[in-house]
Amino acid sequence: MNTTSLNTAQPERSTSDLVKAAVSGWLGTALEFMDFQLYSLGAALVFHEIFFPEQSAAMALILAMGTYGAGYIARIVGAFFFGRMGDTIGRKKVLFITITMMGICTTLIGVLPTYAQIGIFAPLLLVLLRIIQGLGAGAEISGAGTMLAEYAPKGKRGIISSLVAMGTNCGTLSATAIWAVMFFFLSKEELLAWGWRVPFLASVVVMIFAIWLRLNLKESPVFEKVADDTDNAAAAKVAMDKTHSLGAMFTSKSFWLATGLRFGQAGNSGLIQTFLAGYLVQTLLFEKAIPTDALMISSAIGFITIPFLGWLSDKIGRRVPYIIISISSIVLAWPMISMIVDKSNDVNVIMASIIVIHNVAVLGLFALENITMAEMFGARNRFTRMAISKEAGGLIAVGFGPVLAGIFVNMTGSWWPIVVMMIAYSAIGLISAIVMPEVKDRDLSELEDAAEAKGASAIIKGVRSY
């Protein structure tokens, strides 16, 4: 058994092409995470009154988070469907479809009737839009990460791919800033009457520009190399048929390692950006501006954190930064959360604690995630496996995590479940980082996944030595 790579020279791409790919990935990811933060903060702060007004405060928050989770169930379906499509017909076409689906649904949330206007049909329409939106989002960030990794030159993949991660930061920052402005200028009555619609309607500007840019984007050079190769066409076809089956994917060590990495980051994101914001406001009765302002400042600081870690991973590899950040997340979980939930602390201490844990446990891990996962998979299954591993981890950790956190916190009457869940998420990511092979600057035209290719190489070396 040999690690298979392709003989055809990789199509050349100009610096202009690379810039377009980078901006396209950044914009698409920004739109996805703008929706992520628009909805997560909306669910935590106002949707429980707009779409679930007849429930108790605790149950309304759980239902709002459950609606949020519905999108994540759809994401894993979209990851498989569009990921497979991206590995067969190309990255560019799929990324055009996903950005259009996401953008339209995000905008339509802004024109939904409320529960007071049409009753139970209001939350049902919200769930429907979240599902359609989730189908597109399930492949968006993986497609953008795949495209940019396959465009970027060796030695600079980490720093260039960090642009995709910074797209998440831009989306989070923009959405949080919009909500902060809404809270500052509008009364509660105005916010509930019409103000909540503004953030969703504003996203149409990003959508239009992102669609235009993707129409003018060239296909990934690695995908073209694989598709155009004649000497290895049969081998590539066999590799695609085998590795695209669910059975082959679920027996892949690389797939489970990537899922573990994603689980650690996504779980922390769901707890900090989604559940914690709602818990502080609805249960502990903090001012709404505290979590929104803290996350906005943290996202701004992330413009330094994310590219620095991308650059660092280009210098020392992907594994060591992953391990260090995962350990830091475990160590910081209790002291940071305990300071955040203590109302006797100065508001600046509370906000600083949110900023620290968000930059470490969420943004720090995400800075490394896209390029690491892209390098772990082979050329013929990269889009599919990266998308499904991301969304499998996201479905459990982000889709259901905030709901479970709400249930556990409500049952115990304590904030301890948040700490326990954060440590568990980070520990899973840590174990995956320790076990994974180093993938920095791996040849992305190889057809096999990194862990499997490493195992095959070891066997061949052993046989030759014998």
Question: In whole angstroms, what is the distance from residue 239 CA to residue 25 CA?
Answer: 27
pLDDT at res. 257 = 95
pLDDT at res. 285 = 80
Band (pLDDT 50/70/90 cuts) for residue 460 is: very low
Tell me what the mean pLDDT of segment 229-250 comes to. Answer: 58
pLDDT at res. 423 = 95
Closest to 142 (Cα-Cα) out of 23, 299, 262, 320: 262
Q: Check: CB of residue 138 under 8 Å from CB of residue 76.
A: yes
Determine phi and psi for 181, rounding to 5 degrees. -65, -40
Band (pLDDT 50/70/90 cuts) for residue 238 is: low
Q: Check: CB of residue 262 under 8 Å from CB of residue 377.
A: no
Question: In whole angstroms, what is the distance from residue 95 CA to residue 223 CA?
Answer: 14
Question: In whole angstroms, what is the distance from residue 285 CA to residue 283 CA?
Answer: 6
Collapsing DSSP to helix, strand or coil, 257 comes out as helix
pLDDT at res. 144 = 87
pLDDT per residue over 98-123, tens digit each?
A: 988 888 888 898 898 888 888 878 87
- Please, what are the domains in the chain? 15-465 (1.20.1250.20)
Band (pLDDT 50/70/90 cuts) for residue 276 is: confident
pLDDT at res. 28 = 82
Check: pTM over 0.75? Answer yes or no.
yes
Mean pLDDT for the chain overall? 82
Band (pLDDT 50/70/90 cuts) for residue 463 is: very low
